[in-house]
Structure 1
Amino acid sequence: MKIGLYFGTFNPIHIGHLIIANHFAEYSDLDKVWMVLTPHNPFKKKSSLLDNNHRYQLLLEALEDYPKIEPSTIEFNLPQPNYTTNTLAHLKEKYPQYEFSLIMGEDNLRTLHKWKNYEVILENHQIYVYPRISEITSTNSLKDHKNIKVIDAPVVEISSTFIRKAIQEGKNCRPLLSNPVWDYIDKMNFYR
Protein backbone atom coordinates (compact mmCIF):
# COMPACT_ATOMS: atom_id res chain seq x y z
CA MET A 1 0.00 0.00 0.00
CA LYS A 2 1.29 3.44 -0.94
CA ILE A 3 0.71 6.14 1.67
CA GLY A 4 1.10 9.86 0.98
CA LEU A 5 2.19 11.81 4.05
CA TYR A 6 0.84 15.34 4.17
CA PHE A 7 2.59 17.05 7.10
CA GLY A 8 1.34 20.18 8.77
CA THR A 9 0.55 21.96 11.98
CA PHE A 10 -3.03 22.34 10.65
CA ASN A 11 -3.62 25.32 12.91
CA PRO A 12 -6.47 25.13 11.89
CA ILE A 13 -7.14 22.64 9.10
CA HIS A 14 -9.03 24.45 6.32
CA ILE A 15 -10.69 23.64 3.00
CA GLY A 16 -7.43 24.25 1.14
CA HIS A 17 -5.82 21.38 3.05
CA LEU A 18 -8.85 19.19 2.31
CA ILE A 19 -8.85 20.04 -1.40
CA ILE A 20 -5.16 19.12 -1.72
CA ALA A 21 -5.36 15.94 0.40
CA ASN A 22 -8.47 14.76 -1.45
CA HIS A 23 -6.89 15.49 -4.85
CA PHE A 24 -3.92 13.28 -4.03
CA ALA A 25 -6.16 10.56 -2.57
CA GLU A 26 -8.36 10.51 -5.68
CA TYR A 27 -6.12 11.55 -8.59
CA SER A 28 -2.70 10.02 -7.93
CA ASP A 29 -1.35 6.53 -7.49
CA LEU A 30 -1.48 6.90 -3.70
CA ASP A 31 -3.82 4.49 -1.92
CA LYS A 32 -4.29 6.71 1.13
CA VAL A 33 -3.23 10.08 2.46
CA TRP A 34 -2.23 10.45 6.08
CA MET A 35 -2.43 14.00 7.38
CA VAL A 36 0.43 13.99 9.87
CA LEU A 37 -0.18 16.49 12.63
CA THR A 38 3.13 18.09 13.54
CA PRO A 39 3.33 19.22 17.16
CA HIS A 40 6.20 21.58 16.37
CA ASN A 41 7.53 22.50 12.95
CA PRO A 42 11.19 23.55 13.37
CA PHE A 43 10.54 26.47 10.98
CA LYS A 44 7.54 27.89 12.91
CA LYS A 45 7.00 29.56 16.28
CA LYS A 46 5.39 27.18 18.78
CA SER A 47 3.62 29.92 20.74
CA SER A 48 0.90 30.42 18.11
CA LEU A 49 -0.19 26.76 18.09
CA LEU A 50 -3.38 25.40 19.56
CA ASP A 51 -2.89 22.44 21.88
CA ASN A 52 -2.03 19.21 20.00
CA ASN A 53 -5.21 17.46 21.13
CA HIS A 54 -7.44 20.29 19.94
CA ARG A 55 -5.74 20.34 16.53
CA TYR A 56 -6.16 16.56 16.35
CA GLN A 57 -9.86 16.94 17.17
CA LEU A 58 -10.16 19.48 14.34
CA LEU A 59 -8.54 16.93 11.99
CA LEU A 60 -10.98 14.23 13.12
CA GLU A 61 -13.91 16.57 12.54
CA ALA A 62 -12.67 17.61 9.10
CA LEU A 63 -11.85 14.10 7.84
CA GLU A 64 -14.96 12.28 8.99
CA ASP A 65 -16.35 12.00 5.43
CA TYR A 66 -13.04 11.21 3.69
CA PRO A 67 -12.34 7.45 3.90
CA LYS A 68 -9.08 7.71 1.91
CA ILE A 69 -7.66 10.39 4.21
CA GLU A 70 -6.67 9.67 7.81
CA PRO A 71 -5.33 11.85 10.61
CA SER A 72 -2.04 10.77 12.16
CA THR A 73 -0.51 11.62 15.53
CA ILE A 74 2.67 9.65 14.80
CA GLU A 75 4.86 12.68 15.61
CA PHE A 76 3.30 13.28 19.04
CA ASN A 77 5.60 10.76 20.72
CA LEU A 78 8.74 11.54 18.74
CA PRO A 79 11.48 13.93 19.92
CA GLN A 80 10.73 17.64 19.44
CA PRO A 81 11.14 19.56 17.22
CA ASN A 82 9.98 17.11 14.57
CA TYR A 83 12.22 16.35 11.64
CA THR A 84 10.72 14.57 8.66
CA THR A 85 13.71 12.27 8.29
CA ASN A 86 13.19 10.93 11.84
CA THR A 87 9.46 10.48 11.30
CA LEU A 88 10.05 8.58 8.06
CA ALA A 89 12.56 6.26 9.76
CA HIS A 90 10.07 5.62 12.56
CA LEU A 91 7.22 4.91 10.10
CA LYS A 92 9.37 2.56 8.04
CA GLU A 93 10.19 0.58 11.17
CA LYS A 94 6.60 0.56 12.48
CA TYR A 95 4.89 -0.14 9.12
CA PRO A 96 7.36 -2.06 6.93
CA GLN A 97 4.49 -3.21 4.70
CA TYR A 98 3.76 0.36 3.51
CA GLU A 99 5.56 2.56 1.01
CA PHE A 100 5.65 6.15 2.23
CA SER A 101 5.78 9.23 -0.01
CA LEU A 102 5.69 12.90 0.89
CA ILE A 103 3.16 15.48 -0.28
CA MET A 104 4.40 19.07 -0.25
CA GLY A 105 3.83 22.45 -1.81
CA GLU A 106 6.25 23.79 -4.38
CA ASP A 107 7.42 26.37 -1.83
CA ASN A 108 8.61 23.55 0.47
CA LEU A 109 10.43 21.84 -2.40
CA ARG A 110 12.36 25.07 -2.92
CA THR A 111 13.64 24.89 0.68
CA LEU A 112 14.06 21.10 0.86
CA HIS A 113 17.84 21.47 0.81
CA LYS A 114 17.57 23.07 4.29
CA TRP A 115 15.86 20.01 5.78
CA LYS A 116 17.77 17.63 8.01
CA ASN A 117 19.08 14.69 5.89
CA TYR A 118 17.15 15.86 2.84
CA GLU A 119 19.36 13.75 0.54
CA VAL A 120 18.30 10.58 2.38
CA ILE A 121 14.63 11.58 2.09
CA LEU A 122 15.01 12.33 -1.61
CA GLU A 123 16.76 9.05 -2.41
CA ASN A 124 14.36 6.83 -0.47
CA HIS A 125 10.94 8.42 -0.93
CA GLN A 126 8.90 9.85 -3.76
CA ILE A 127 7.83 13.44 -3.24
CA TYR A 128 4.54 14.60 -4.71
CA VAL A 129 4.58 18.34 -5.29
CA TYR A 130 1.57 20.61 -5.79
CA PRO A 131 1.81 24.11 -7.28
CA ARG A 132 1.60 27.42 -5.50
CA ILE A 133 0.72 30.60 -7.37
CA SER A 134 3.80 32.39 -6.07
CA GLU A 135 6.07 29.52 -7.11
CA ILE A 136 4.81 28.47 -10.56
CA THR A 137 7.44 30.44 -12.45
CA SER A 138 10.29 29.56 -10.13
CA THR A 139 13.14 27.35 -11.20
CA ASN A 140 14.11 24.51 -8.95
CA SER A 141 16.91 22.09 -9.67
CA LEU A 142 15.24 19.40 -7.54
CA LYS A 143 12.19 19.32 -9.83
CA ASP A 144 14.11 17.11 -12.25
CA HIS A 145 15.05 14.51 -9.60
CA LYS A 146 13.74 10.99 -10.33
CA ASN A 147 11.74 10.90 -7.08
CA ILE A 148 9.99 14.25 -7.57
CA LYS A 149 6.51 14.04 -9.07
CA VAL A 150 4.97 17.44 -9.83
CA ILE A 151 1.20 16.92 -9.83
CA ASP A 152 -1.30 19.08 -11.63
CA ALA A 153 -3.33 19.76 -8.50
CA PRO A 154 -5.65 22.70 -7.85
CA VAL A 155 -3.84 25.85 -6.76
CA VAL A 156 -5.24 26.83 -3.37
CA GLU A 157 -3.98 29.97 -1.68
CA ILE A 158 -5.62 29.87 1.75
CA SER A 159 -3.51 30.11 4.87
CA SER A 160 -4.17 29.13 8.45
CA THR A 161 -2.46 32.37 9.50
CA PHE A 162 -5.04 34.37 7.52
CA ILE A 163 -7.88 32.38 9.13
CA ARG A 164 -6.55 32.85 12.68
CA LYS A 165 -6.20 36.59 12.09
CA ALA A 166 -9.67 36.84 10.55
CA ILE A 167 -11.25 35.08 13.54
CA GLN A 168 -9.30 37.31 15.94
CA GLU A 169 -10.63 40.37 14.08
CA GLY A 170 -14.21 39.08 14.19
CA LYS A 171 -14.40 38.52 10.42
CA ASN A 172 -16.58 35.81 8.92
CA CYS A 173 -14.23 33.19 7.48
CA ARG A 174 -16.67 30.27 7.67
CA PRO A 175 -16.43 29.50 3.94
CA LEU A 176 -12.73 28.66 4.41
CA LEU A 177 -13.44 25.92 6.97
CA SER A 178 -15.56 22.79 6.85
CA ASN A 179 -18.73 23.09 8.97
CA PRO A 180 -17.58 20.69 11.71
CA VAL A 181 -14.24 22.52 12.01
CA TRP A 182 -15.94 25.91 12.21
CA ASP A 183 -18.41 24.61 14.80
CA TYR A 184 -15.61 23.24 17.00
CA ILE A 185 -13.52 26.43 16.74
CA ASP A 186 -16.60 28.55 17.52
CA LYS A 187 -17.72 26.36 20.43
CA MET A 188 -14.22 26.35 21.96
CA ASN A 189 -13.75 30.08 21.29
CA PHE A 190 -10.38 29.49 19.61
CA TYR A 191 -8.19 32.17 17.99
CA ARG A 192 -10.18 35.06 19.53
Structure 2
Amino acid sequence: MSELYAVRRGRLRDRCAAAGSAASLVSRPANVRYLAGGVPPGAVLLLGPDEDVLICPGTSVPDPGEGRPDDRLRITVLPAPGGDTVVAAARTAAAAGAESLAVEETHLTVARHRALGSVAPRLRLGDLSGAVEQLRIVKDEEEIASLRIAAEITDQALGELLESILVGRTER
Protein backbone atom coordinates (compact mmCIF):
# COMPACT_ATOMS: atom_id res chain seq x y z
CA MET A 1 0.00 0.00 0.00
CA SER A 2 2.84 2.43 0.72
CA GLU A 3 3.98 1.98 -2.88
CA LEU A 4 0.59 3.31 -4.00
CA TYR A 5 0.98 6.49 -1.93
CA ALA A 6 4.56 6.96 -3.14
CA VAL A 7 3.39 6.75 -6.77
CA ARG A 8 0.66 9.32 -6.11
CA ARG A 9 3.14 11.69 -4.46
CA GLY A 10 5.54 11.17 -7.37
CA ARG A 11 2.87 12.23 -9.85
CA LEU A 12 2.17 15.40 -7.88
CA ARG A 13 5.90 16.10 -7.50
CA ASP A 14 6.32 15.80 -11.29
CA ARG A 15 3.45 18.23 -11.91
CA CYS A 16 4.87 20.76 -9.47
CA ALA A 17 8.37 20.47 -10.90
CA ALA A 18 6.98 21.05 -14.40
CA ALA A 19 5.27 24.19 -13.09
CA GLY A 20 8.55 25.40 -11.57
CA SER A 21 7.89 24.67 -7.91
CA ALA A 22 10.60 22.97 -5.83
CA ALA A 23 8.23 21.88 -3.06
CA SER A 24 4.51 21.65 -2.44
CA LEU A 25 2.35 21.85 0.65
CA VAL A 26 -0.90 19.86 0.79
CA SER A 27 -3.21 21.00 3.59
CA ARG A 28 -6.70 19.90 2.56
CA PRO A 29 -7.47 16.81 4.72
CA ALA A 30 -8.90 14.67 1.89
CA ASN A 31 -5.86 15.38 -0.26
CA VAL A 32 -3.44 14.64 2.59
CA ARG A 33 -5.15 11.26 3.14
CA TYR A 34 -5.04 10.53 -0.61
CA LEU A 35 -1.28 11.11 -0.70
CA ALA A 36 -0.22 9.84 2.73
CA GLY A 37 -2.74 7.27 3.99
CA GLY A 38 -4.34 7.49 7.42
CA VAL A 39 -3.35 10.73 9.10
CA PRO A 40 -4.37 12.54 12.29
CA PRO A 41 -6.63 15.61 12.07
CA GLY A 42 -4.79 18.82 11.27
CA ALA A 43 -1.82 17.13 9.59
CA VAL A 44 -0.28 18.59 6.44
CA LEU A 45 2.03 17.04 3.87
CA LEU A 46 5.16 18.73 2.58
CA LEU A 47 6.52 17.25 -0.65
CA GLY A 48 10.11 18.22 -1.15
CA PRO A 49 12.61 17.31 -3.82
CA ASP A 50 14.47 14.94 -1.48
CA GLU A 51 11.91 13.73 1.06
CA ASP A 52 8.26 13.99 2.03
CA VAL A 53 7.31 15.13 5.52
CA LEU A 54 4.00 14.62 7.31
CA ILE A 55 3.66 17.39 9.90
CA CYS A 56 1.18 16.64 12.67
CA PRO A 57 -0.12 18.92 15.43
CA GLY A 58 1.08 18.04 18.92
CA THR A 59 -2.45 17.58 20.23
CA SER A 60 -3.75 15.33 17.46
CA VAL A 61 -4.72 11.76 18.25
CA PRO A 62 -4.72 9.34 15.30
CA ASP A 63 -7.99 7.52 14.68
CA PRO A 64 -7.26 3.77 14.45
CA GLY A 65 -10.08 3.42 11.91
CA GLU A 66 -8.31 5.79 9.52
CA GLY A 67 -5.28 3.51 9.17
CA ARG A 68 -1.62 4.39 9.41
CA PRO A 69 0.39 6.94 7.46
CA ASP A 70 2.69 5.71 4.72
CA ASP A 71 5.89 4.23 6.17
CA ARG A 72 8.03 6.09 3.64
CA LEU A 73 7.12 9.49 5.11
CA ARG A 74 9.17 11.31 7.69
CA ILE A 75 6.72 12.24 10.44
CA THR A 76 7.19 15.38 12.49
CA VAL A 77 4.95 16.12 15.47
CA LEU A 78 4.85 19.72 16.64
CA PRO A 79 6.01 19.96 20.24
CA ALA A 80 3.73 22.80 21.32
CA PRO A 81 -0.04 22.46 21.34
CA GLY A 82 -1.62 25.08 19.16
CA GLY A 83 1.30 25.22 16.72
CA ASP A 84 0.34 25.75 13.10
CA THR A 85 1.31 22.84 10.87
CA VAL A 86 1.22 24.99 7.72
CA VAL A 87 3.66 27.49 9.21
CA ALA A 88 5.90 24.65 10.40
CA ALA A 89 5.88 23.21 6.88
CA ALA A 90 6.91 26.56 5.39
CA ARG A 91 9.79 26.77 7.89
CA THR A 92 10.86 23.23 6.98
CA ALA A 93 10.77 24.00 3.25
CA ALA A 94 12.76 27.21 3.70
CA ALA A 95 15.32 25.44 5.92
CA ALA A 96 15.72 22.74 3.23
CA GLY A 97 16.64 25.46 0.74
CA ALA A 98 13.46 25.50 -1.34
CA GLU A 99 13.02 28.74 -3.25
CA SER A 100 9.37 28.15 -4.12
CA LEU A 101 6.44 26.41 -2.50
CA ALA A 102 3.16 25.48 -4.17
CA VAL A 103 0.23 25.60 -1.72
CA GLU A 104 -3.48 24.87 -1.88
CA GLU A 105 -4.47 28.55 -1.88
CA THR A 106 -8.20 27.87 -1.78
CA HIS A 107 -7.71 25.95 1.47
CA LEU A 108 -5.56 28.54 3.25
CA THR A 109 -7.02 31.38 5.26
CA VAL A 110 -5.69 34.89 4.79
CA ALA A 111 -4.10 34.71 8.24
CA ARG A 112 -2.25 31.50 7.37
CA HIS A 113 -1.14 32.95 4.05
CA ARG A 114 0.27 35.99 5.85
CA ALA A 115 1.96 33.75 8.42
CA LEU A 116 3.65 31.82 5.59
CA GLY A 117 5.04 35.06 4.21
CA SER A 118 6.30 36.20 7.59
CA VAL A 119 8.13 32.99 8.58
CA ALA A 120 9.67 32.44 5.15
CA PRO A 121 9.81 35.80 3.36
CA ARG A 122 12.18 34.56 0.63
CA LEU A 123 9.97 31.59 -0.21
CA ARG A 124 8.06 32.27 -3.43
CA LEU A 125 4.49 30.97 -3.02
CA GLY A 126 2.53 29.46 -5.89
CA ASP A 127 -0.83 27.73 -6.23
CA LEU A 128 -1.33 23.99 -6.69
CA SER A 129 -4.46 24.95 -8.68
CA GLY A 130 -6.38 21.79 -7.88
CA ALA A 131 -3.53 19.52 -8.98
CA VAL A 132 -4.32 16.89 -6.35
CA GLU A 133 -8.00 16.92 -7.26
CA GLN A 134 -7.06 16.37 -10.91
CA LEU A 135 -4.97 13.37 -9.88
CA ARG A 136 -7.85 12.02 -7.80
CA ILE A 137 -10.19 12.00 -10.83
CA VAL A 138 -8.35 9.04 -12.38
CA LYS A 139 -8.96 6.04 -10.12
CA ASP A 140 -6.31 3.41 -9.47
CA GLU A 141 -7.00 -0.31 -8.98
CA GLU A 142 -7.37 0.03 -5.19
CA GLU A 143 -9.98 2.77 -5.55
CA ILE A 144 -11.88 0.86 -8.25
CA ALA A 145 -12.02 -2.22 -6.00
CA SER A 146 -13.35 -0.10 -3.12
CA LEU A 147 -15.99 1.44 -5.40
CA ARG A 148 -17.10 -2.01 -6.54
CA ILE A 149 -17.47 -3.18 -2.93
CA ALA A 150 -19.44 -0.04 -2.06
CA ALA A 151 -21.74 -0.55 -5.05
CA GLU A 152 -22.36 -4.17 -4.04
CA ILE A 153 -23.23 -3.14 -0.49
CA THR A 154 -25.56 -0.42 -1.77
CA ASP A 155 -27.25 -2.81 -4.18
CA GLN A 156 -27.80 -5.36 -1.41
CA ALA A 157 -29.20 -2.71 0.96
CA LEU A 158 -31.60 -1.42 -1.70
CA GLY A 159 -32.76 -4.95 -2.44
CA GLU A 160 -33.50 -5.60 1.23
CA LEU A 161 -35.33 -2.27 1.49
CA LEU A 162 -37.52 -3.03 -1.53
CA GLU A 163 -38.41 -6.43 -0.08
CA SER A 164 -39.55 -4.85 3.20
CA ILE A 165 -41.90 -2.30 1.61
CA LEU A 166 -45.51 -3.32 2.00
CA VAL A 167 -48.24 -2.33 -0.47
CA GLY A 168 -50.54 0.23 1.06
CA ARG A 169 -48.01 1.40 3.68
CA THR A 170 -47.85 5.18 3.98
CA GLU A 171 -44.74 7.23 4.57
CA ARG A 172 -45.97 7.93 8.06
Give your verdict on TM over 0.5: no
TM-score (norm 1): 0.40
TM-score (norm 2): 0.43
The structure having more radius of gyration, on CA atoms, is: 2
